[in-house]
Amino acid sequence: MKVSAMFVVTAMAFAVMGQSASAQATGGSKARGDVYNFWQAQGWQQQTHSQARALYYYGQTAQPTPAQSKEHATAARQGIENAHKSLAELKKSNPDNKEALAAIAKIEEIQKKVLGHCDMMDKALAKGDHVEMCSCCADIVHEVDAVNAEMTKLQKALKIESPALPKR
């Protein structure tokens, strides 16, 4: 579990570094901050997605221990909360970009739903109800997929390019 989280963070760091260099060449510090905050939010949301999928898998294939379940549930919640903070920075730095603000508002609306599912997941874990826990995890995965669609709109609104993949 920690290896997959480390992989996500490492991949995100490489993406951010590549975008930061590109932004530095084409824009000022505002552009660099937007690129950083965008990719940081994207990375945190992907962590939430990965944690919910892992917990869902545990619930479907084996009885997860309470410690494992709590660790994944906590990481999922922290991921979405950290993504929310990065989006707040984007909102502050782009007060006149109506398209970006609309995408951020939609993302924040979905994030509230995710946090609601996290609350229900915590209650299910407290009761030891793995069926309900898995249902909450599936809902979180679907909601984060919806966030990803809105992140694509936000990326276009902020004119942030995707980093080129390294050649093999």
Distance CA 112, CA 103 (A): 14
What is the pLDDT at residue 93?
Answer: 94
pTM of the model: 0.77
Tokens of 165: 């993949």
Provide the token pair at 43. Answer: 């990375």
All domains of the chain in start order, with CATH: 2-158 (1.20.120)
Average confidence (pLDDT) over 130-135: 91
Query: Between residues 167 and 11, which one has the greater pLDDT?
Result: 167
Q: Give 1: exposed, middle or buried? Use CB within 10 Å, 0-12, 13-18, 19+.
A: middle
Identify the pLDDT of residue 155.
95
The answer on pLDDT for 6 being more than 70 is: no
Note every long-range contact of 22-27, with CB atoms under 8 Å and residues 24 or more positions apart, other chains counting. 22/161, 22/163
1: DSSP letter: -
Q: Which residue has the higher pLDDT, 163 or 51?
A: 51
- State the first-to-last Cα distance of the chain, in angstroms, to the nearest integer: 28
Percentage of residues of the chain with pLDDT beyond 70: 82
Average pLDDT, the chain: 84
